[in-house]
Structure 1
Amino acid sequence: MISLTRRHLIALTLGGYFSYLLFGIFDSMRGATLSTLLADLPLSYALGGLIVMGQYAGYFTATLLAGVLADRTSPRSTLILAGVSLTAGVLGYTASTALPLLIFFMFFIGMGLGSLELGGCNIISAIYPEKKGRHLNILAAIAGCGAFLTPAAAGLLLDAGLSWRLVYRLGLVFAAPCALYFIFLHCPRLSQKAQKIMQKKQRASQSLALFSMNLSNFAYMAAEIGTATWLADFYCHVKHFSLLEASAGLSLFYIGITLGRLGGSLFVDRIGHIPSILAASLLAVGCTLAGVYGPDALAILVSVSGLCYSVIFPTSSAVVSGLAPGHPGRALGVFLSFGGLGGMFGPWLLGILNDLAGPKTGMACSCLFGASILLFTFAAGKLSAKR
C-alpha cells in the first residue's frame, strides 16, 4: 500500500472525484445539446451520428494511450491530458460550423473523457487497495450525478434561449478549475523495481482472467447502453406507455444506476467483488425478462434493471486493477476500451433485432449480454483463483 499523509489522501481522493464529475457533466452534455445543434446548422440525424462516433473514437484512443502513459509516469499526467484535451475540444467544437471540424474537435472531447475516466479510476484504485470496490462505486455514482443533473440544467438554459454553443462553454466553468487542480496535484506511482517484481508474478491464468473481464465489460456496456437506448421505444410500442411515462421510465433507469452505486459501496467489498458482479448480472437478467414477458404491471422492472446493473462496472474495475498490480493503467485502459466497443455495438445490434423481430424481442435479447457478463465474470473468478 502507498504511504500517504491524511492531507495528501484527501487531495488525491478529491482529484478522482473531480475527474468523474467532469466525465458525467461532459458525457451527458453531448446528448443534451445535439438535437439543438442539428437544428441550428442544420444537419441530418445520420451526420449527427458521425459527430457522436467522433467522441467514441477519441474515447477509445485515450483509454489505450493514456493507460500506457499512466504506467510510465503517473495518473496525474493522464488527468492533465484530460484537462487539455477537454478544454481544447470544447472551445474548438463550439466555434465550428463545418462537419469535419465538429467531428475533429469532438474527437478531442472524447479523448478528454476517456482520460478522465481512466485517471480517476487509477488514482482511487491505488490509494484505496483494500476498499477499492467501495470507493470505485462512489466514484461512478458521482459521475451519475453529473450525468443526471446536466441534461436538466442544459434544457432549462436552452429553453431560455441560450445558444447550444454557450451552454457547452459554460461547462468550462467547472473544467478550468479542475484542470488547474490536476496540474498541481501530486500523484504517487509504483517504483520501476516494484513494477518488475509484480510483473514477474503475472501468470497465464491472470492474463486469461483479465481478458475474460474485458469481454465481461464489453457485454456490460452493450447491455446497459443498449437497454437505455431502446428503453423508451420499448415502453411506447410494446407496453403502450405515453411518451411522458416512457421518459420517466428511462429516468428511473439512470436514477437506479446512481443510487445503486452509492448503495453498492456499502457491501461489494464485504461479500466479494466477483460474487457481487454475478448476483447483480443475474438480477438484471431476471428483472428484464420479467418486465418484457410479464404483465404490464411488471414492465417497470426493465427500468429497475438499472439498479441491478449499477455495481457491475465499478466493481469490475476493482477486479481488473487487482489482477494487474504491475501495470494497472494499461490494464484498465484496455478494459475501458472493450467497454467503449460494447457501448458502440450493443445499441446497434439491438436496433437490428428491433427491425427484424420487433422491440419486444430486441429488449429481451439484451439479456444475452447480461448472461455473457455472468459467464465471463465466473470464468475470471475461477482463473484468478489459480494465482
Structure 2
Amino acid sequence: MATFFLVIIYLAFISLGLPDSLLGVAWPVMQLEYGARLETAGLLFMTIAGGTIISSLASGTVLKRFGTGNVTFVSCLMTAGALLGFTFAPSLVWLIICAIPLGLGAGSVDAGLNNYVATHYKAHHMSWLHCFWGVGATLGPIIMSQFISEQNSWRQGYLTIAGIQFALVVILFFTLPLWNKVARNSNITLSEESEDSKSLFYDEDAKNIKPLKIRGVKLALISFLFYCGVEATMGLWGSSFLVNVKELPVAVAAQWVSLYYAGITIGRFITGFITLKVSNRTLIRVGQITALAGAALLFLPLPSSFSLVGFIMIGLGLAPIFPCMLHETPARFGKEHSQTIMGYQMAVAYTGSTFMPPLLGFIASQSTIGIFPFFIVVFVAAMIFGSEKLNVLLKNKDLLKGKNTNSKVL
C-alpha cells in the first residue's frame, strides 16, 4: 500500500511542476495577443510566486489543522481552477486574478508533500520526488509547444493542462482515506543518520541560540536565494531569449526550454542513486560547476546550437543542488533548529523565484533581453560564492572539533 500511495504522491508532484513552466513558454504568443509589455510576464510570475510564499508560510498551521491529504486535494483543485481561468481569461486583469489561486495552491502542496515524504518514506525518495516535479515541468512546455505549433493556440495548451489537473483531483478525492492509514502504518524513522552526525555547528547550548545567529545559516540562505533565481529565470525568460536574440521559432524555443527541465528531471532521478555513494556536498559542488559551464555557453558569442547544450547543462547542473541542500540542513546546523532553518530556506527560495525573474524583465524592457546570459552567469556565481564560503566554515569547524576531540583523549 505504501508503494502504491507513493505513486499517488509522485503524480501530485508532477501536477505541481506542470504549470510552473507554462507561462514562460507561452508568453511570446500571449504578449502579442494581449498587446502587453515584455515585463508583464514578470508581474504575473511575481503574483504566482507571491501566493506560493504566503501559502508556504501558512502551511504549517493549515496542514496541522486539516491534514496533508485534504490540503493537497483542495490545493490541486485551486490550481486546476486557476489554469481553467487562464484558458478563458479575456484580459490581463483576469490573468492576474487567476494567478493568485495558482500560487496559493502550489505552496501548500509543495510544503505538505515534502514534509509527508520526509516523515514517512526513506531519504532517497526526496530526490526522486523532485525528479517527478521535473517530469511535470518538462511535459508542460512540450504540450504547450504542440498546440502553439499546430494550432497557434496557447489557450488550448492551458486547457489541456487544466484537464490533467482535474483528473488528478478526482484521483486524490478517492484516495483521501489512505493518507492517515499510510501514516499510521509507516515505520520509517525520521532520520537515518547516526547519532554522531549531529551538526558541525552544534554545541551544548544550541537550544539557546537563535537560528539566524548560527554560523553559516545566512550563507546557506544566499545559496537558496540565487539557486531559485537561476532556476526560475531560466524557465521564465529562456524562451524569450531564444526567440528574440537567437531568432528561433516560438515552438522550437519551447522545446529547448523543455529540454532544460528534462535535464533537471533526469539529473534528479540519477541523483537518487548517486546519493548512496557520493556526499551531498560533492554533488552540490559538481552541479554548480556544471551549471556555470552551461551558463558560459549562453554568454559567449557562439552559434545557436551551443545554446541548446547550455540549456541542458544548466538543467543537469541544477538537478542535485536543491534536494541535496535541503537534505544537508540537519547535518549542517543540527536537528535542534533544522525545522526552523528549513522554513527560512524555503521562504528565501520562493523569494528568489518571486523577485529575480521580474528584475531581469524590468531591466530587459529598458535595454534588451540579450542581457539574459549575463544575469544567469552572475546568479550562478553568487550561488557558488555562498556555498563555498559555507564549505570553508564547515571545514574549519570540523578541523576544530577534531582538535578538541584529540585534546580530550590526550
TM-score, scaled to structure 1: 0.76
Q: Check conservation: 2:142, 2:258, Cα contact below 8 A.
A: no
Note the 1:175-254 alignment, pairs <5 A.
175-182=169-176, 184-186=178-180, 187=183, 201-202=206-207, 207-235=214-242, 246-254=253-261
Deviations 1:26-83 (A, max 9, x none): 434556777888888x68457665544332221011111114555xx39x82452232
Query: Is 1:115–2:108 an aligned residue pair?
Result: yes
Distance 1:152 1:84, change over 3 A: same
Measured in 1, the distance between the counterparts of 2:251 and 2:145 equals: 16
Q: Which residue of 1 aligns with 2:379?
A: 369
Q: Check conservation: 2:17, 2:137, Cα contact below 8 A.
A: yes
Q: Check conservation: 1:118, 1:329, Cα contact below 8 A.
A: no
Distance 1:229 1:140, change over 3 A: same
Q: Which residue of 2 aligns with 1:194?
A: none
Give the alignment's Cα RMSD to 1 decimal: 4.1
Measured in 2, the distance between the counterparts of 1:329 and 1:255 equals: 30
Note the 1:254-333 alignment, pairs <5 A.
254-293=261-300, 295-296=302-303, 298-303=306-311, 304-320=313-329, 322=331, 323=333, 325=335, 330-333=340-343
Alignment partner of 2:329: what SS?
helix
Measured in 1, the distance between the counterparts of 2:7 and 2:48 equals: 26
Measured in 1, the distance between the counterparts of 2:248 and 2:40 equals: 30
Q: Check conservation: 2:42, 2:358, Cα contact below 8 A.
A: no
1:222, distance to aligned residue in structure 2 (A)? 1.0
Gaps of 5+ in 1: 1-6, 192-197
Gaps of 5+ in 2: 191-202, 399-410
Alignment partner of 1:319: what SS?
helix
Distance 1:146 1:279, change over 3 A: same
Measured in 2, the distance between the counterparts of 1:22 and 1:205 equals: 33
Measured in 2, the distance between the counterparts of 1:114 and 1:24 equals: 12
Q: Which residue of 1 aligns with 2:353?
A: 343
Instruction: Kindly provide the amino acid, as one letter, of the partner of residue 139 in structure 1.
Output: L
Worse-matched range after superposition: 164-173 or 97-106? 97-106
1:274, distance to aligned residue in structure 2 (A)? 1.7
Alignment partner of 1:271: what SS?
coil
TM-score, scaled to structure 2: 0.72
1:85, distance to aligned residue in structure 2 (A)? 3.1
Measured in 2, the distance between the counterparts of 1:36 and 1:240 equals: 15
Instruction: Kindly provide the amino acid, as one letter, of the partner of residue 133 in structure 2.
Output: A
Measured in 1, the distance between the counterparts of 2:204 and 2:159 equals: 48
Worse-matched range after superposition: 178-187 or 151-160? 151-160
Alignment partner of 1:270: what SS?
coil
Measured in 2, the distance between the counterparts of 1:118 and 1:200 equals: 29
Q: Check conservation: 2:284, 2:324, Cα contact below 8 A.
A: yes
1:185, distance to aligned residue in structure 2 (A)? 0.4
Identity %: 18
1:220, distance to aligned residue in structure 2 (A)? 0.6
Worse-matched range after superposition: 58-67 or 19-28? 19-28
CA radius of gyration, larger in: 2
Instruction: Kindly provide the amino acid, as one letter, of the partner of residue 270 in structure 2.
Output: G
Distance 1:151 1:232, change over 3 A: closer
Q: Which residue of 1 aligns with 2:168?
A: 174
Q: Check conservation: 1:261, 1:310, Cα contact below 8 A.
A: yes
Distance 1:66 1:309, change over 3 A: same
Distance 1:36 1:83, change over 3 A: farther
Q: How many residues align?
A: 367
